[in-house]
Structure 1
Amino acid sequence: MSQLQPPILQSELNFAAIYDNAKNYKNFEEVYAAVLAHPDLLTKIPDGRNWAIIHQVCFTGDTNQFNQLLALQINNPKFRLLSKTNDNKSVLDIAREASKDKPTTLFQRIERLKNLDELLRNAECGNWSFCKQLLQSQPDLANEKPPYHHFYFLHHLACMGERLVFDELSRLCHFDFTISVDNETASNLAAAGGFRDFVKAIDRLSQILPTTPRRDELSTGRNASSRDQKGSIDTERNPTPPSRRGDQVNSTQASLPYFHFDQITLERDQYNNHIIKSDILAFTSTSERSLDSTTSRDRASGARDNSRSTISDNNAYYKNICKNIQCISSENLLRLIICPITGQLLQNPVTATDGFVYERENISKWLLTNNRSPTTNMEIKDKDLKPNTVIEQIIAAIKWQSQVKHEDFQSTSSVIRSPNRK
């Protein structure tokens, strides 16, 4: 009988143990799982300590682990990259101290994230003079974003309808008009806000500037845009744009999910468990699914007692994981189990070095012809992919719970449809 790995995500959090794992550079999967369920733990300083988990991971110098934890902050409006330790150090300070002889990869990464942070936070409040000054020295920042921000710089301009600012900055920057948020381009967002002159300005520049290969070539499971056949905008599918100048809106507080999933949604059952609601998900019985985990030798020998034991053990295993993920919002959880490239449910989840989780086949194809992240458009130098056991366990458990719910519904429906017996 094949053995299931112990659940990594635990409902009863031992913050002290998680913190020590980060400090001692061990059991990163447990650290990742804890921050996945409780994103605010990344910058929380435990009692009696001086540093938070983010500072400890930074001190280890592991850029990949650092990126993975940042990717989990997409829906945490309280997150600040340069949050201070009790001895008044930020991750940039810690990385700089480790780069005295030669700049490390992590230091360069954090320094660029800091600049992107400054650009986007000033764009949120309409401080365009600062944005212009920063883009004069680093124009390529206009087409990138940190993993914990929803919007690119261009999308802030489009949502606010700042055409004059756009005209001025387009002389400094070569904007990539194909990058999208919630599968919507800047042109879509401007049209949804009624800024037709902004749309015309983008269309005009798109015809003049060299074309950029479309970034949705692999998105076979998603619509390329929200325009209907007549070219109108489906405003119900557009993300709520950030407020106009002066409202101090944090882009991580966007009201809609980071990706639209037309065929898959999550809902809660009466026990607060996450259930997949999808027309494309094929359900099989839990007994069949549990039996699949037994070896052919077990089945051939007719070891029914062992099979029953396997079913019981597997059911308890998945039930435990479902309990452990109840604290995660459906919106956040859906984002974790869907491939950002195609919007389809992950089957073979892997983590790329940008920190995000993708379907292996999709990200492998993407990296054959791209050296930038499909999620942040930041450069990817290392194209190594690693299986994500935490996400794999979560998806297996949600599928199991959804199948149980489906079978309960089928059973209830059968009883209702059956004629009354005398």
Structure 2
Amino acid sequence: MTTEKSWRTAFAIYLQPRVVSMIFLGFSAGLPFLLVFSTLSAWLRDEGVELTVIGFFSWVGVIYSIKVFWAPVIDRLPIPILTRLLGKRRSWMLLAQLGIALGLSAMAGLDSHSQLQLCAVLAVGVAFCSATQDVVIDAFRIETADARYQGAMAAAYVLGYRIALLVAGAGAFYIAEYSSWKTAYSVMAAAMSVGMLTTLCLREPEHRPAETARHVESRLQSALGVSGRDSLWQRMLAGFTDAVLSPFVEFFSRNGRTGLIILLLIALYKMSDITMGVMANPFYLDLGFSKKDIAEISKIFGFFMTIAGAALGGALVVRYGLMRPLLLGSVMVVATNLLFAVLALSAPSKILLAGVISADNLSGGLATSVFIAYLSSLTSKAYTATQYALFSSLMTLPAQFLGGFAGLVVDHYGYYVFFIYASVVGLPAISLVLLLISRERRMVAATQSP
């Protein structure tokens, strides 16, 4: 069992250099995100591009959801010269950051009317490099520190990411207003130097070969009859087995049937939060709040409360371990969705809106940092990038699919019923966390019994 630590020790973890470095890597990860989404949409619309065409640009986001398909390449393939100079993770990180900077610079030099297709290609390229950087940073974060640091490192990452969203969102708009969109994108490309300098200053984590991973790979190769690697086909199949199949087999070898419960929890943990988030802004508008009210309350309160929640979550992981904060996060998300149901029945009030948004962002920030720490603890150091990419994709795809039906629920039953529904879909996650805690306690009791 995890030994509880003092609150002073828990929060002192944010002074650790490895934790502080995640702020800068989080900034590097968050900067390109809006520049291929809402900020790019604003630029294209400002230039008079048709809304139908702008809508097609949203498909760029699919790149972030399928990064698991090339994560095995990142885990296995060295980059000539760069890997020798910088190491396995930093070489991929720097290459991805260079790709983002070059892509944004190229977009800044385009004419949005005559070169719209090239703009789309570059946006896809930037998104691909950005998703690749996400995979590498996640792997780097997990390999740099043990599980008790992961909540704090996730919180620092969230802080940097949120700052980057402000820079790439409001910052780009300000630059475009007083100069041009091309200047804005040029400045954003230059801002990627924050990530590049951080990558060059960091130390490469140790990569120790895992004995269990070697055993899994050997067993799979023998089962497929390619352990000898006598032919080109056998070598290709053995490489595919090691990079793609072994991470999945290793996960279940380590966790057994509990692995299915863990994967189900990963798929359901963010379900309530993401389902509710789809309808949040339409709900505020339908209550009669102005766009100015929403911006001021949700952005200002939302920003600081999310950071506070993430920081608290990181400290809780240090103080209490993973499972109890994981349970707290799941309960808080369900409870704050019920607060939205109360808001739906109340007269419009800015104070009440600020209170509900504050509670929602505090719980969301806490749950996110704790859940990232939990996912990080599930990975094997032999397959960090591949397994974490799988977990992060599984975390969002089912919830995003269910979120697509949110409008139907609101149209047929109203906001009050919708927020009750959004809370109810979070109950299975609470049950699964309790089940895993119970299993963990039984295992500890079994090992301690004479």
TM class by shorter-chain length?
under 0.3
The higher radius of gyration belongs to: 1
TM-score after normalising by structure 2: 0.21
Structure 1-normalised TM-score? 0.22
Whose strand proportion is higher, 1 or 2?
1
